[in-house]
Structure 1
Amino acid sequence: METDIFKFNCNCCKEWSEKCKSRTSWLGQCSNLEFYPAQYWLYYPEYESEGIISGTKNDIVLYNYLIDNNILGEKFCYLGIAHKLVLEDYKYDKNRLEENVDSMLDYLCYSYGEPNDTDNLLRKYFVKKAMRDNKCNCKENWECVCKKYTERGLTYMDDDLHMVPCSYMIYFDEYGKRGIISQRKNDEFLYEYICKNNLLEDELCYYDLAYKLCIRDSNDPLIKYESNIKFLIDYLVWSYGLPYDENNILRKILKNNNNIDISNYKYKPKDKKEFNNITVKGAYVRDARVRELALQLANFQCEIDKEHNTFISKAILKNYVESHHLIPMKYYDEFQYSIDNEADIVALCPNCHRLLHFGRFEDKKVLLEKLYYKHIESLKKAGIEITLERLLEMYKD
């Protein structure tokens, strides 16, 4: 496994200067496409008329075209991409073919920059793909993969960080101002930030986590991408310890994540059970496992607005949300199948939850309509049929 995630399946990142760069000569130095060379006049207007390019920097039209037509392939190489983009009229004319390829090489460089630029939009596509396909597990691969980034000495500092390397000061200031780190052992600020933004997935990899945490919107020219990654990995080691340590508190996040495949979850009808008809203080008994599953399917986010963050629950180490039966349980007997089903349970922040119980009907209606259309298909799959009009009637009491 390669130690640099940005080099997976990437030709131009390794060989740009020796192989492809010599074929680009004009557009990389231009700020406007109007200045492209005369020999390219034959090509760019035709690409634009066919909706392949837009003639802009960071061309989204071309980006979508490359992805939709599977042109990017497995290797990030401008020359390979340019060959696949050659217009049909010039494929069998050798002179035109080479000129067409050179025109697209120049255009790629003009629009996206050089392929080894970390801000290159096409390069980011391959970075994300590489990170999906080559997940690191620091528990197994720390020594041979990510450890090399912890080289600045934070692991040898005391709790107060009196002797921080000078090159790290700018990052401490930047992440501190944003409220992401607290500069303390077992950093609670960073821990909550990681939980709220769901930055941990199947395995704990400090490189992967640092990549997701990395600040990319700073205007400070001193903040460099690679040194930023190294700082973050070094800080993670200093604050939480080695990633394979079972006492590492970041591992608790993974232990409390059941890794449900939300995109492929199948809702289905559930037969009514006897205990559902038993009431305790006038309320039907609920199945706690169904509630927990519903909150996981909602990714512990308020279904009215994902930005309604609350706090990290100490019980589950996730953003705190509350469960609510969209069809109230007091109407349980109206339905053939049990409504104590994850399809009927919505995740809400405390404020939205209280509104549905104690708010004015006109305010409830706005939330109910949004939740109805979001859940109606899963309700049908669970054998629960209900109209919007009937649901609204249930909340007029």
Structure 2
Amino acid sequence: MSKNVLLSKFKGALVGAVLGDCIGSEFEGLWAKSIGVEKVLKSIGKLESEYDPATDGRKADKQDMLLRDYTDDTAMARSVAQSLIENKGFDAKHMAKMFSEEYFKDPYRGYGGSIITVFSKLKDAEFADPYKPAAEQFDGEGSYGNGGAMRIVPAPLFAYRQNDVQHLTELVEQITKITHSHPSAINGAIFQSFAVDLALRGSKEVDTGAFCDELQKRIMEREKKVTEKIKKRKLEEVEAEEDKEATPFDFPYASITDDIRKYALQDDLPSTEEITGNLGTDISAYRSVPTAVYSFLRASKHIDKLEDRNSFEKTIIYAITLGGDTDTIATMAGAIAGAWYGIEAIPKSWQASCESVEDALKFAEQLYELSSTSE
């Protein structure tokens, strides 16, 4: 793959994530039936009306209007990117400090209560053990939210050149555990990172079957290892012999990939109720990351009322129409779509009206150069 194409994909991934967050945040928490394609298109139409192609920026009479704000999704992704760039790799204490300092500097980005507690404990302990506060949450089970997955896109960019699934898996796990230590949250972030990595390596048209096959293969290997560890621990704790054989429930992300494939390949668009009921749109990793992957895959096909939109645009719009945690699902779907289609597929009008796009472009170039030197 040429430098220009790959760099475009790096830029597309980070900018796509930012735009999904900024545009999706307007609809966060709403039921799908109260949104609809028309309402999302109306919002995007306002954004597009601010753009001046002659200057490649906002119209003169629109420049005083506020940019669409990013949320905690982008705030934390920025910290992941900056920490990997500054350290030329992963440093747990440094990244934990960046997360915490970013929150206390700018706390009004929609952070959840449990994550605020983690940041406070990290700060109070002077980041002595960057994993302890998260591991102590929820009676030691850790959070199973999607906060790890929503910010993870810089990791597959950084690890791209090594082309090593195990290396990427370990990097994502270490990044995620700073705030989310539950296996479902960690595996959700890994699932998302695998999807971005596959998109970075993709070309031409999206092959949904092949994409899901490889994604399922990768996550199955991960979930097998996690299941073995959990079973071993439980057997040691209770000295019991039951449940030695893995069941489909032991591999939730591998199993849900079958549903992602099925819904994405259907000729007719599945009902919103079917998608939200079976894939989910809430703040848990397991009930949002699969929906983001599905949204990307589904948007490569026809969607009514979006015939004049390209596949990147359809990904963001469709993800938002599903309701629920719209900013996070759209940011994850946008990262995958941007990684596949590249920066050229992302409307300049969208970029001109959303906060932090310039930083995303800068981080993409730095991560590209850094990954090039880490071969």
Q: Which has the higher contact order (CA 8 A, sep 6+)?
A: 2
Greater helix share, structure number: 2
Instruction: Give your verdict on TM over 0.5.
Output: no
Rg larger in 1 or in 2? 1
After TM superposition, the score normalised by the length of structure 1 is: 0.23
